[in-house]
Amino acid sequence: MSDALWAFDEAVRAEGPRVLCGVDEAGRGPLAGPVMAAAVVLSAPIEGVRDSKTLSPRRREALFDRIVREALCWAVAESSVEEIETYNILGASQLAMRRAVAALSVRPDLTLVDGNVARDFSGPVRCLVGGDGKSACVAAASILAKVTRDRRMDELARLYPDYGFERHRGYPTRMHYEALRALGPTPVHRAHFLRQLRDN
């Protein structure tokens, strides 16, 4: 799989852009915590890199270390719960992705954005639906974003130990709903998401 993803990136570079960046986010669906984004520029293939959702947590962690060590450059950024409330989850996700790309030490000639929306990026951009399963650099970004967000939820689990954040990562699971019913929301819960659940 990683060979096919790298071949896709090579085909894109053959069209002209020498520095190709992939960007992806993690955390659009949870009821709590920030949304995280990562941007990655690869200079060579990394064996095993593929869509983070298809990898075990242990494998993601191992690949995280390889990506940050071997990528030409990479960056991670987030949008806070407050920004999610202000801009909605799509707007906040786009903001986090723009921040990640802007933080790169090398300016990309083209940025591949996972999904079908790319708003207000400063350089050339191309949307790529299912990009984390097509492009090596987008897949690498998906791994960095997912691992970083999971680590952040582990931190929040230590602040709010009765909610199970280290297990469900803020997603709407039965365990999470039970904690919310028993304890109410924390400051890291997304109030708009909770209102939507209550009203539906």
Work out the percent of the chain whose per-residue pLDDT is above 90.
Answer: 94
Question: Mean pLDDT across the stretch 85-100?
Answer: 97
**Residue 194: what pLDDT?**
81
| pLDDT(29) > 60 | yes
Question: Mean pLDDT across the stretch 29-39?
Answer: 97
Long-range contacts for 15-20 (Cβ within 8 Å, ≥24 apart)?
Answer: 16/109, 17/108, 17/109, 17/110, 17/124, 18/109, 19/72, 19/106, 19/107, 19/108, 19/109, 19/110, 20/108, 20/109, 20/110, 20/112, 20/137
Joined tokens for residue 113: 């954005």
**Residue 200: what pLDDT?**
45
**Tens-place pLDDT, residues 106-124:** 999 999 999 999 999 999 9
Using H for helix, E for strand and C for coil, what is the string for 137-156?
A: HHHHHHHHHHHHHHHHHHHH
Question: Mean pLDDT across the stretch 25-32?
Answer: 96
Question: Mean pLDDT across the stretch 83-103?
Answer: 97
| Domains delineated in the chain | 2-199 (3.30.420.10)
Rounded mean pLDDT of the chain? 95
Name the E strands within 43-184.
Answer: 73-79, 110-114, 125-128
**Residue 188: what pLDDT?**
97
Read off the pTM.
0.95
* Nearest to 179, CA basis, from 163, 190, 194, 166: 163
The Cα-based distances of 178 to 2, 51, 161 in angstroms read: 40, 31, 14
**Residue 108: what pLDDT?**
97
**Residue 182: what pLDDT?**
95
